[in-house]
Structures are given as structure tokens and as C-alpha cells.
Homo-oligomer: A and B are copies of this chain.
């Protein structure tokens, strides 16, 4: 959440609606720096309010576009994540290129996009393979085709990567070695970062939009809350890398985020559209048994509350306790993603990663904290939520739904073998 890109600079002209629809997050936290500067308050005040207006305008468009994607469903959100990812990669690829050297290396940029395509095939192939198989189980021919594609998926991706590797070595040019190796390493780092986080996003989406929407919203709320708290109360600087962040903004935002996490989880948990996992790549309406996490439990208030208190009790979804953990992480640790991005920009003397979003900078500027959060949400979900909600019956359902009769028999035999080994040994 870099803070240096909009103070004093004139607001960028409005970007076309189509581009805005594909962006995601909202205003960053920008504590008021005119208070720390002290002088020339009237001009700073005007700039402060004008920049806030530009940022608010972009934010509304981003949030609106995002809400529309949520309504349209899992595939639409996945498509949105992919588009964001492509733009992020493009911004980052262009960040450290040097025009002078590139003139001597024709076709070198294509290598980046080759590796990008390979990574996309690998990552999305793994995540969506099971669901793709489930989508085509009705048609035998298509099923065979898809199954064999999946079987040889790793080989195909590996050979695409090796082809790129060999192409890189064959195009090494004398006196350009250091630049080329630097670019190669930089490409790998970019792809690693971009695809790790987007694959976790997509994995979360198919577990249930709730597990994608809640963490993302918490980061947005943390950003906006830190901005507002800092705007009104900001005084003590937080960290040297991001000089505009303040402790007041940080602590205020933490409290706001944790409370919102608790409340938002309750609201979101009531919609089957958000809580049901998507087993295949269909786009229709979802119906499922959400599991014990989303069944409300009623707690009655203790006796000593006064008579006039309107609520006799409160119904809490068990998932709200998990949401508290997510909120804690989003407020304390996720901001470090923003600090990392700030430090990186200072190190390489770059003002912003790009300029796609007026008032906010590039897409990477918006996604830096999201990345850290998405990975945590996925790992938290896999470690603490899934085992709780898995029961013998649910696995039996999975087996009956997802496997053919032959596969079920294979599984039965394997399970028998494993259990026999365990009982004997």
C-alpha cells in the first residue's frame, strides 16, 4: 500500500469503463501528510481533498465491478483473476527492462510470454483438472480425451519449459550475458509471485466464494479504515519504508477489521451462492449442504442484562470464529506485503508499478497485500477448516459423486491394502 503516489500530483483523467471494471481493490491508506509537513495548510488541504475524491471515484468503480463478478459466479471471478494476473505480469515485466539493451536482443521479450503461458498452463491445469473431468463425465469420448490430457499435463508443461530454457541459452549474446541472466531471474521471480498468489485465489474460489470474498474484503476494509483513521488522527509514523503510515491508522484499522470480520462472516455465511463449493465448471445455481460451519448456533444472553435490552440472544455461525483469525492476520501481517512493495520501489527508484488506476498507481500496487492474504486464507482453510468439516459421510459422497465404478473399486482395494498394512505393522 504505497503512499507516495498521489500527494500533490494532479489527478489522472478518467480511464474507460471497460478497464475499470477489471480492477479490484479500493483506496489505500494514506495518512494525512500535510499535518506532518505543517506549512502551507490551505493548498495542502485542497490537494488532500481532491486526491481523496479521485481515489474514492476509482474505488467505487473497482468495488462495483468486483461485486458484479461475484454475482456472475465462479468462472467469472476466475476470469477476472486471470486478467488481473496478465496485467500484473505485464507491469512487472516492463519494470526493469532497459530499452538500450533490448534493441540488441530481438525476440527476447517473447521468451517472457512463453514462460508466462507455460506457467499458466501448469498452474490452472492442476487446479482445474479435477473439475474439468467432472464437467465432462457424461460424454465418454470427451472424458477419455480430457483424462489423457490431464495425465500428460506435467510432461507437456515440462517440455514447454525446457524449450524456453534451451531457447534462452541459444540466444545468449556476448557482452549481454549479465543483463540476460538478470532478466531471466527477474522473469522467474515475477512468474513465481504472480502465479503463486493467483493459484491460491482460484483454489479458494472453487472451495466456495466465501473463502475468496471474505479475505479480499478484509484487506479492502483494512486499507480504507487505515486511510480514514490516518486522515483524521494520524500523527506518529509507523515504519521508515512507508513514511506516510501512522500508528493511529494501523491500530484503528486493526480494530475495525477484526470487528468487520466477525460481522461480515455472519452476513456472507447465509448465502448458499457464497458458501457452497463448486465441483465442476458449470455456471448454474448452486445447492448443497454447507456443513456444520455455517449452521447458526444460538447463544442466550446471561440473566444480569437489563429488561429493556431488545435482544434475548445472539445467533453465531461457527465460521465467525475462523473469521476472527482471518481478520487478525489481515490487520497485523498483511500490511507487510505493502511495506515490501514500498521498499522494492525505493530500492529500484520506481514511483509506481504502473499507472492503470487513477489515484492508485498500477495493479500491483493494489494487489500487494492481497497476495499475502490469499495464501494465508488457503493454508488456513486447508489446515483448520477442511478437516473439521470432513466427515466419513462427506468423503463417501465425494467418492460416489466423483469416481466411476472401476475407480471406486480401485480405491476400495488400495484402502484395504493400506488398512491391512496398518493393522499388521
Q: Mark A residues whose CB is within 8 Å of B.
A: 129-130, 133-134, 137-138, 150-152, 154-155, 158, 162, 165-166, 168-169, 172, 174, 177-178, 180-181, 185-186, 188-189, 192, 240-241, 279, 333, 336, 339-340, 343-344, 346-348, 372, 375-376, 379-380, 382-384, 386-392, 394-396, 398-400, 402-403, 405, 407-412, 414-416, 418-419, 421-422, 425
User: Among B279, B347, B402, which residue has its beta carbon within 8 angstroms of that of A386?
Assistant: B402
Q: Does the CB pair B390–A165 fall under 8 Å? A: no
Q: Does the CB pair B391–A415 fall under 8 Å? A: no
Question: How far in angstroms is the closest Cβ of chain B from A375?
Answer: 7
Chain B contacts for A154, CB-based, 8 A:
379, 382-383
Question: How far in angstroms is the closest Cβ of chain B from A180?
Answer: 7
Q: Does the CB pair B382–A339 fall under 8 Å? A: no
Q: Does the CB pair B415–A333 fall under 8 Å? A: no
Q: A151-B388, A192-B192 given as contacts; is B415 within 8 A of A344 (CB)?
A: no
Q: Does the CB pair B339–A169 fall under 8 Å? A: yes
Q: A158-B376, A409-B419, A416-B412 given as contacts; is B403 within 8 A of A392 (CB)?
A: yes
Q: Does the CB pair A415–B396 fall under 8 Å? A: yes
Q: Does the CB pair A391–B382 fall under 8 Å? A: no
Q: In the complex the two chains form, what is the Cα distance from A133 to B388 in whole Å?
A: 14
Q: Does the CB pair B390–A410 fall under 8 Å? A: no
A133-B390, A169-B340, A192-B192 given; 4 more Cβ-contact pairs under 8 Å: A133-B391, A177-B347, A188-B192, A390-B402
Question: How far in angstroms is the closest Cβ of chain B from A242?
Answer: 10
Q: Does the CB pair A421–B134 fall under 8 Å? A: yes
